[in-house]
Amino acid sequence: MLTTVEENLDALKNKLHEVFGYTQFRGNQEPIIKNVLNGRNTFVIMPTGAGKSLCYQLPAIILDGTAIVISPLIALMKNQVDQLNAVGINAKFLNSTLSKAEITRVKKETIAGEVKLLYVAPESLTKDENIAFLKEANISFVAIDEAHCISEWGHDFRPEYRRIKSIIAILGNMPVIALTATATPKVQLDIQRNLQMENADIFKSSFNRENLYYEIRPKHHAKKQIIKFIKDHKGKSGIIYCLSRKKVEEIADFLCVNDIKAAPYHAGLDSNVRMNNQDAFLNEEVDVIVATIAFGMGIDKPDVRFVIHYDTPKSLEGYYQETGRAGRDGLEGNCILFYAYKDILKLEKFNKDKPVTERENSKVLLEEMSSYAESSMCRRKQLLHYFGEEYKDTLCGKEMWCDICKYPPEKYEGQEFVFLTLQAALKTEERFGLKHLVDVIIGKENDYVKSYHHNELDIFGKGSEEKEEFWNSVVRQTLLHGYLHKDIENIGVLKITDKGFKFLESPESVILVKDKDFEALTENDATTPVDRKAYDENLYDILKKLRKEVAKKKNLPPYVIFQDPSLEEMATIYPTTKEELTRINGVGVGKANKFGKPFLEAIEKYVEENEIETAQDVVIKSSVNKSKTKIYIIQQIDRKIDLQEIADSKDMSYAELINEIEHICYSGTKLNLEYYIDNIMDIDRQEEIFDFFMNSHSDKIEDAIEEFGDEYDEEDIRLMRVKFLSDYAN
């Protein structure tokens, strides 16, 4: 160890430049490194991209012995070990990917004192033979990366992390540095307690990433929006996160079909495939990686220009960490989340089999995620508040805006609403969370409210004129304005701050904003101007008028000819041949043959008259024909196999099968379902639904359900819609 770190500051900077090529430390790096070199326990909270890894790598190089780095992901280890080896530092990892001979060699080099950093998976650390081996080594200190994995209140809890402290104690009394990029005040406290680091020196950097643009979009035609976005950012690196392995494969395949260099990454892939895809992304052979959350922890790629969440993440911590992989070089970083409340409901269903405590924790995290997405408060302000940091500016936008600040929502005076919220918290003795306060305010007389006699309070029902969603928003904004705060010891409980008590004594003006109604938004409501009317409006109007004429001649509803999204795409890429027309979403060969000729003639005439150069590079192709599952379904329907039997053979639910059948139909393939429909529905009922679609202005299932009420099952209506479109459209 250095004798006195202050005297060796020049040596420290020389080593920084010699090994890593930097001339200056960033942020808190210098005091953190000094702290570690002085043998003190150190707790580092630093956002992704701020240089956490240097905080333990540089001390490890300077100190005698081997630093143990406990890391949860193989991808992270490989990436960092490769980088260190490239600059001449002997770093190794110990995990399940190594052969016995490789493990023996790593242990031998470590005991000989040749290895400066040894990366160990927490599962490997707990093995008796590895504990015995580490007792023989000269260990300088232990670094615990992704330390939030210790906390059951965090977004990525791993039980094996709970054993780390006891194993360190077995290895001897040595300094520990714990590092995390995402930790709420509750999680920070939990990390310190579990590692017995209550007296550790804490270094907390700002969570504000000024170069990132945060945007939430409604999840309508998300794939089409993604293709458009990527082609508008051609050649730039990006990550798309999905929650399921199946969706990862589907999106990656879809991007490749549309001439985008993309690759999948998830734990179900062969490890060699995973590593090759990761390396291809790092080496710029692939522009976009489509991944589950397993990808990205510790991946040091500074020029990721966008992070897209196709599915809603399980928590704000996870979301923040994943978006933090964009713009690590300080330049442009776009963070787009496609949000639909049904994703939240789906995630809640996944949690139903978990233990009660874990289920409740997950529910709270999902509520926070939903609140963030649906709120019209500055995204940056919300994120920083979540991590216990106050953002004092009214609007973000020093370098990059968020969608809310760029396109400000409607505002209103909120004094009386905040006052009632604080009264509700006070009169329920500051022992409850958002949902209970709202139930009391709107007068919801449920068993829980009655058990505390809160239905007898004078404030009960005082806010009943407004909807529950409105009050949810008010309570969240009361928190953001600092009149309430979250109780660290009791998750979900809201308490009144000093500022809140002052407000109760002397109310002041508070400007609140109205939340977005995401369920009512459509794709054209997305906030980014590039997505508004991206098509040629004049041509679109011509095609729409033509569609009406063709529909009238054929005595069909206009939507049967071509749907609006198909017309928009035609007015974007100007197809002039039948082959080009079949590449349009929702236009199969059958539909192109049946209806295409007048549309192609109109487009060709328009292109010539306006001297337009067609842009085939933005065509969005469907990967339907590439799916083995879809081909199998078509073949089985041709053989007139029972639909439930087809679903069972592919381990799908009946509803999932109908989804696939609809996708096949909308891509232009004709399906003959009469054999099945005739068995489940008599002719009169079929004709009734058929007549509805023939005379309707749209093919929306919601309209049909409203028309028929409970008379028909939704799945039966959907099958009849497929039959109708197959008969008349495809």
At residue 615, the pLDDT reads 47
Considering only 227-241, 264-278, 295-309, 462-476, which range has the smallest mean pLDDT?
A: 295-309
pLDDT band at 581 (very low <50, low <70, confident <90, very high): confident
Per-residue pLDDT for 282 more than 60?
Answer: yes
At residue 224, the pLDDT reads 85
At residue 400, the pLDDT reads 65
Q: What mean pLDDT do residues 698-721 have? A: 77
At residue 171, the pLDDT reads 85
If one compares 598 and 630, the residue with the highest pLDDT of the two is: 598
Residue 217 token pair: 């979009």
pLDDT band at 528 (very low <50, low <70, confident <90, very high): very low
pLDDT band at 516 (very low <50, low <70, confident <90, very high): low
Cα–Cα dist 633/651, whole Å? 13
Q: What mean pLDDT do residues 575-598 have? A: 82
Cα–Cα dist 560/527, whole Å? 30
At residue 1, the pLDDT reads 44
Instruction: Report phi then psi at 14, rounded to 5.
Output: -60, -45
Instruction: Find, among 466, 495, 461, 454, the residue nearest to 478 by Cα.
Output: 495
Q: What mean pLDDT do residues 398-422 have? A: 85
668-708 per-position pLDDT tens digit? 677 888 888 888 888 877 888 887 877 776 677 777 777 77
At residue 460, the pLDDT reads 94
Per-residue pLDDT for 513 more than 80?
Answer: yes
Cα–Cα dist 242/376, whole Å? 24
Distance from the first to the final alpha carbon of the chain: 76
Q: What mean pLDDT do residues 555-566 have? A: 79
Q: What mean pLDDT do residues 312-337 have? A: 89
At residue 672, the pLDDT reads 84
263: which strand partners?
289
621-651 per-position pLDDT tens digit? 555 444 577 778 887 888 888 888 888 888 8
Q: What mean pLDDT do residues 245-274 have? A: 90
Q: What mean pLDDT do residues 457-463 have? A: 93
At residue 525, the pLDDT reads 42
> What fold characterizes domain 212-406?
Rossmann fold (3.40.50)
Domain assignments of the chain as residue spans, ordered by start = 6-204, 212-406, 411-513, 533-618, 625-728
Residue 637 to residues 41, 643, 716, Cα–Cα distance (Å): 66, 8, 16
- Predicted TM-score (pTM) of this structure: 0.61
CATH 3.40.50.300 for the 6-204 domain, yes or no: yes
At residue 398, the pLDDT reads 55
At residue 625, the pLDDT reads 44
Helices 589-609 and 537-554, interaxial angle, to 10°?
140
Q: What mean pLDDT do residues 31-48 have? A: 90
202-223 per-position pLDDT tens digit? 998 888 888 899 999 988 888 8
If one compares 66 and 344, the residue with the highest pLDDT of the two is: 66
Which residues touch 475 (CB under 8 Å, ≥6 apart)? 421, 434, 437, 438, 484, 494
Per-residue pLDDT for 553 more than 60?
Answer: yes
Per-residue pLDDT for 287 more than 60?
Answer: yes
Per-residue pLDDT for 397 more than 70?
Answer: no
CATH of the domain spanning 625-728, picked from 1.10.10.1390, 3.40.50.2000, 1.20.1070.10, 3.40.50.300? 1.10.10.1390
Average pLDDT, the chain: 83
If one compares 323 and 126, the residue with the highest pLDDT of the two is: 323
Per-residue pLDDT for 522 more than 50?
Answer: no
Cα–Cα dist 539/545, whole Å? 10
Cα–Cα dist 235/230, whole Å? 8
Per CATH, 6-204 and 212-406 having the same topology is answered yes
> What fold characterizes domain 411-513?
Arc Repressor Mutant, subunit A (1.10.10)
Which residues touch 450 (CB under 8 Å, ≥6 apart)? none
At residue 673, the pLDDT reads 86
Amino acid sitting at position 5:
V
Per-residue pLDDT for 168 more than 90?
Answer: no
CATH of domain 533-618: 1.10.150.80
Residue 565 to residues 131, 256, 417, 587, Cα–Cα distance (Å): 61, 22, 42, 11
pLDDT band at 523 (very low <50, low <70, confident <90, very high): very low
Write down the residue that tokens 């012995």 correspond to: 65
Amino acid sitting at position 466:
E
What does the DSSP assignment read for 333-357?
Answer: EEEEEEE-HHHHHHHHHHTTTS-HH
70-104 per-position pLDDT tens digit? 988 776 787 788 888 888 899 999 887 788 899 99
Q: What mean pLDDT do residues 559-587 have? A: 81
Per-residue pLDDT for 399 more than 70?
Answer: no
pLDDT band at 459 (very low <50, low <70, confident <90, very high): very high
Residue 291 DSSP code: E
66-70/212-218 β-pairing: unpaired
Residue 675 to residues 39, 497, 661, 679, 706, Cα–Cα distance (Å): 77, 67, 15, 7, 27
At residue 614, the pLDDT reads 60
At residue 294, the pLDDT reads 60
Query: Residue 173: how many CB atoms within 10 A of its CB?
Result: 6
At residue 582, the pLDDT reads 79
* Secondary structure string (H, E, C) spanning 134-192: HHHCCEEEEEECCHHHHCCCCCCCCHHHHHHHHHHHHHCCCCEEEEECCCCHHHHHHHH
Per-residue pLDDT for 529 more than 80?
Answer: no
At residue 613, the pLDDT reads 62
If one compares 521 and 477, the residue with the highest pLDDT of the two is: 477
If one compares 713 and 318, the residue with the highest pLDDT of the two is: 318
pLDDT band at 610 (very low <50, low <70, confident <90, very high): confident
Amino acid sitting at position 660:
E
